[in-house]
Amino acid sequence: MLSAIFLIFGRGLLTARSLTLAEKYYRRAVQKNPNSYSGWLELGYVHDQQKKFQEAVKDYVRWKTYEKPGRYFNFDLARSYKKDYMRSRNELKIEVAKDGEELEAKPVSFVTGNSPQPIGFSLNE
């Protein structure tokens, strides 16, 4: 319950663009509930916005351990690798393999950074 309250405060502060305070409340949320899917995801987003890329990557990896991804996922993790798309793809491929799935890099409806071609990550169907 307390974790949910910290998430609500974090979301409000994020909306107000108070990133430092939002980070504080998201940290409290994951301290109270280390298995918080939303807490790790939103903390990663805040760190990404603050350009704390190493912390964002750690948060997104923690997020991934608590929830199996959907068909398209972890676009933020790719951005957090500072445009190192192949490293991002390889790390995601390892994580997805743990779930018994396969990862395929293919063009999708968004473009990451200044890549010469659209790159997205999806699970093979």
Residue 68 binned pLDDT confidence (cut-offs 50, 70, 90): low
The pLDDT value recorded for residue 53 is: 84
The CATH number for 1-67, chosen from 2.60.40.420, 2.60.40.1730, 1.25.40.10, 1.10.1070.11, is 1.25.40.10
Asked whether 36 and 84 are in contact (CB, 8 A), the reply is no
- pLDDT tens profile 15-66: 667 888 889 888 998 998 888 878 888 888 888 888 888 888 888 888 776 6
Best-predicted range by mean pLDDT (1-5, 53-57, 61-65, 101-105): 53-57
Q: Is 70 exposed, middle or buried (0-12, 13-18, 19+ CB in 10 A)?
A: exposed
User: How does DSSP assign 71-91, residue by residue?
Assistant: SB--HHHHHHTTT-HHHHHHH
More confident residue, 44 or 12: 44
- Give residue limits of the domains in the chain: 1-67, 71-125
The pLDDT value recorded for residue 80 is: 56
Q: What is the mean pLDDT of residues 98-125?
A: 44
Q: Is 4 exposed, middle or buried (0-12, 13-18, 19+ CB in 10 A)?
A: middle
What value, to the nearest 5°, has the Cα angle with vertex 51 and ends 21 and 122?
110
Query: Mean pLDDT across the chain, nearest whole number?
Result: 66
